[in-house]
């Protein structure tokens, strides 16, 4: 596996607010809703609507975003390839958490059923 130190540092410093509009655009373009995106975000991070809005307004980095999050206990069930990496094999915890989010957004945009995205059958 190649060294991803520079990429990990870049991801840590990136703000959630800068990426959030891209998530919204991606899911809405595929016929899903912002409310569904928020449901996925809340499942993964524990942030409800107002807490999520505060993260956006405060322009927190992904590092802070995930440090303050309460990750769902079933995040280990998120598997597969995103951005050329298997999410379950990513060594840096923060990068893995961001890729979990990317994977869930991708699944939502691809029309996967919500109960599958939220790993409800586990």
DSSP 113: -
Q: What is the pLDDT of residue 1?
A: 46
Q: Where do the domains of the chain lie? A: 5-117
Nearest to 52 by CA among 23, 100, 24, 16: 16
Q: What is the pLDDT of residue 121?
A: 60
Cα gap 111→30, rounded to integer Å: 8
CA torsion angle 38 43 48 53 (round to 10): -50
Q: What is the pLDDT of residue 24?
A: 98
Q: What is the pLDDT of residue 84?
A: 87
Tens of each residue's pLDDT in the chain, 122 residues: 455 788 888 888 999 999 999 999 999 999 999 999 999 999 999 999 999 999 999 999 999 999 999 999 999 999 999 988 899 999 999 999 999 999 999 999 999 999 999 997 65
| 99 within 8 A of 87, measured Cβ to Cβ | yes
Q: 101, exposed or middle or buried, with CB in 10 Å at 0-12, 13-18, 19+?
A: buried
What's domain 5-117's architecture? Orthogonal Bundle (1.10)
**Rg for the chain (alpha carbons), in Å?**
14
Cα gap 63→12, rounded to integer Å: 5
């Amino acid at each position: 596996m190649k060294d991803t130190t520079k990429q990990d540092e870049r991801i840590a410093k990136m703000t959630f607010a800068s990426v959030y509009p891209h998530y919204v655009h991606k899911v809405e373009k595929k016929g899903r809703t912002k409310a569904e995106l928020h449901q996925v975000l809340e499942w993964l991070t524990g942030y409800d609507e107002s807490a999520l809005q505060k993260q956006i307004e405060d322009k927190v980095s992904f590092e802070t975003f995930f440090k303050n999050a309460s990750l769902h206990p079933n995040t280990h069930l998120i598997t597969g390839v995103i951005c050329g990496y298997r999410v379950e094999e990513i060594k840096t915890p923060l990068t893995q958490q961001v890729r979990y989010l990317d994977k869930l957004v991708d699944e939502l945009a691809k029309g996967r059923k919500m109960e599958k995205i939220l790993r409800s059958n586990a």
